[in-house]
Structure 1
Amino acid sequence: MKNFTTPILVLFLLLVIAIVGNIILSTIGIFYNSDIFNTGIYSGTEASINIKLIFIAKSFALITFIIGVYALINKSKYLIKRDFFNLKLIKGFSKSGKLFLFSGIVGFITSLIEILNLIILNDFSSQAYLNIDSKSLYIMLMIMGLFLLLFSKVLSKGGEIQQENDLTI
């Protein structure tokens, strides 16, 4: 079980680098009017306030996701020790589940707003810099969040049953 710790940390580091790097590049493009992706969109025009707000909401959702993954990894030491009914592990699963669910909902809603922004307002300014997500991934995040919340409830109930069983012996 300890063999999983290093690959998980490496993958988490790559996740953080990818998300933060993408947010930084998109911030430069949207807020500083720089065509760093060479999209040819910019002709001296500034990104609309709609695009900026959508970008901020999506960035918030992605950072919330990173925090949720960190909370999950942080509590993995209890899994390694096979301390499945530890209250800290259960709370960690619950916290990660809530963060994943929240991140998925915020990301999905902002993705829908982005689509409406394109359709209704024909606002294509800086659209290339909003491509930092996928609607299906946000749905998967919501499913994972609900699963982690369910799993924390199951572990909590299992802990209660084990405690009752220990008292009867």
Structure 2
Amino acid sequence: MKNYTRPILFVFLILVLAIIGNIIISTIGIFFNHDPFNTGVYASSYDLSLNIKLIFITKAIALTVFIIGTYVLISKLSYLVKGDFFNLILIQSFQKSGRLFLLSGIVGFVASIAGMLNLVVVKDFSSQAYLNIDSKSLYLMLMILGLFLLLFSKVLKRGGQLQTENDLTI
């Protein structure tokens, strides 16, 4: 199990850098009158609607919550490495990560739907390059993963109770 901690941390670092980079590039395009993609189809931030800015901020918040949830989960890997599966701290980290993933998935999915409605109803195509942090399937997967982690934390909590009862019986 110890062999997996460094690769997991490395992949997490790449994930964080990719998400933060994407958010920074999109923020420059949406809020600072600059076209980082050099598309030539640039609209100034004054031309971008308030809905686009709110949708982007909502998606950025959802991705930040996802990063925090992932960090909470990874930070407690040492308990798994030790085989201390019924440790209350580990169980609480699964529960907290599950809630954060579920929240991130719901917020991101709602923002994605709002972005689609903005595109269809308002016909605002100028900002689509900057809303590229969109993946409805990722948000659905986060909701499923969040629910799984919440369920898993309850299973571990019950397993810990059974282990305690068993130890007291012996």
Q: Do the two structures share a fold, i.e. TM-score over 0.5?
A: yes
Cα deviation, residue 46, structure 1: 2.8
Q: Superposition pairs for residues 1-169 of structure 1, below 5 Å?
A: 1-44=1-44, 46-169=47-170
In 1, the alpha carbon distance for the partners of 2:9 and 2:113 equals 32
In 2, the alpha carbon distance for the partners of 1:16 and 1:154 equals 30
CA offsets per residue over residues 85-119 of structure 1, 9 Å max, x none?
00000000000000000000000000000000011
Cα deviation, residue 35, structure 1: 1.1
In 1, the alpha carbon distance for the partners of 2:120 and 2:50 equals 16
TM-score between both structures, scaled by the size of structure 1: 0.97
Q: After the TM superposition, which of the residue ranges 19-28 and 126-135 deviates more from structure 2?
A: 126-135
Indicate conservation of the 8 Å contact 1:103/1:141, yes or no: yes
In 1, the alpha carbon distance for the partners of 2:133 and 2:117 equals 17
In 2, the alpha carbon distance for the partners of 1:150 and 1:41 equals 47
- Structure 1: gaps spanning 5 or more residues: none
Indicate conservation of the 8 Å contact 2:43/2:126, yes or no: no
Q: How many residues align?
A: 169
Indicate conservation of the 8 Å contact 1:33/1:47, yes or no: no
CA offsets per residue over residues 94-152 of structure 1, 9 Å max, x none?
00000000000000000000000011111122111101120001000000000000000
Cα deviation, residue 43, structure 1: 4.8
Q: Taking every aligned residue pair, what percent have the same amino acid on both sides?
A: 69
- In structure 2, give the amino acid aligned to 1:16: V
TM-score between both structures, scaled by the size of structure 2: 0.97
Q: After the TM superposition, which of the residue ranges 36-45 and 134-143 deviates more from structure 2?
A: 36-45
Indicate conservation of the 8 Å contact 1:29/1:129, yes or no: yes
- Structure 2: gaps spanning 5 or more residues: none
In 2, the alpha carbon distance for the partners of 1:134 and 1:108 equals 8
Instruction: Summarize the Cα distance change of 1:43–1:97 in structure 2 as closer, same or farther, 3 Å threshold.
Output: closer
